[in-house]
Structure 1
Amino acid sequence: MTIAPASRPGPLTFDPVAVGRAECAAWAAYYRREWVPFLRSAVTMVRAGFGMPWPRTVLGAWWVLRANQLWAPFPDNDPDGARAAMGRFYRLVVRSGWSGFDPVRAAALEVQWWRVHREHQHDAGGTERELVDALCALYAYVYGLPDSVVRPAAALRVAAMDASDRWVAAGCATDDPLLARERRLLVASFSALRDAVDRRPDRADRCGPDLPSGPGQASTGRPPRASTDSGGTPSSAVAGSGTV
Structure 2
Amino acid sequence: MENLTTKPAPVRKPKPGRWFWWGILLALVVWVVVDLYIPRKNSLRQFDPKEVARLETAMWRSYYEKKPVLLFWQLATGLRQQFHAPFWRSFTLGFQASKAAFDFKEGHSRADYQRTIPDLISYYESIQALSTESFDVPKVAKLELEWWIVHRQRERYSYDDLANALVQTSAALYSQPAAPFTTYGRLRADAMRLCDDVRNHPGGATEADWQQIDAVLRRAWGELHTVVQRNTSN
TM range (shorter): 0.7 to 0.9
Residue 115 of structure 1 aligns to which amino acid in structure 2? I
Aligned partner of 1:61 in structure 2 is: 94
Task: Give the whole-Å Cα distance in 2 for the aligned partners of 1:171 and 1:25.
Answer: 21
Answer yes or no: is the 8 Å Cα contact 1:109–1:134 preserved in 2. Answer: yes
Which residue of structure 2 aligns with residue 178 of structure 1? Answer: 209
CA contact (8 A) 1:28 1:172 kept: no
Partner of 2:138 in structure 1? 104
Quote the residue 2:53 is aligned against: 20
Give the share of equivalent positions with the same residue, in percent: 23
Whether 2:182 is the aligned partner of 1:151: answer yes
Contact kept, 8 Å, 1:9 with 1:15, in 2: the verdict is no
User: What per-residue deviation string (whole Å, max 9, x for no partner) do you get for residues 40-84 of structure 1?
Assistant: 111121111111222322211111122222223475895234332
Deviation at 1:145, TM superposition (A): 2.3
Q: Distance in 2 between matches of 1:171 and 1:86?
A: 36
Task: Tell me the number of residue pairs that the alignment of Structure 1 and Structure 2 aligns.
Answer: 193
Between the aligned partners of 1:192 and 1:100, the Cα distance in structure 2 is: 22
User: Could you give the per-residue CA deviations for residues 4-56 of structure 1, whole angstroms, max 9, x where no partner exists?
Assistant: xxxx9742111111111111121222334432121111112111111122232
Match of 2:25 in 1: none
Q: Which runs of 4+ in 1 moved over 6 A?
A: none
Structure 1 residue runs without a partner (length 5+): 1-7, 204-244
Distance 1:27 1:72, change over 3 A: farther
Shift of 1:85: 2.2
**Structure 2 letter corresponding to 1:16:** P
Q: Which has the larger radius of gyration?
A: 2
Contact 1:67 1:81 in 2 (8 A): no
Alignment of 1:111-130 (within 5 A): 111-120=145-154, 124-130=155-161
Within 1, Cα distance between the matches of 2:68 and 2:202?
18
Structure scoring higher RCO (CA < 8 A, sep ≥ 6) equals 1
TM-score (norm 2): 0.74
Q: Map 1:138-217 onto structure 2 (within 5 A).
A: 138-170=169-201, 173=204, 175-200=206-231
| Structure 2: gaps of 5 or more residues | 1-40
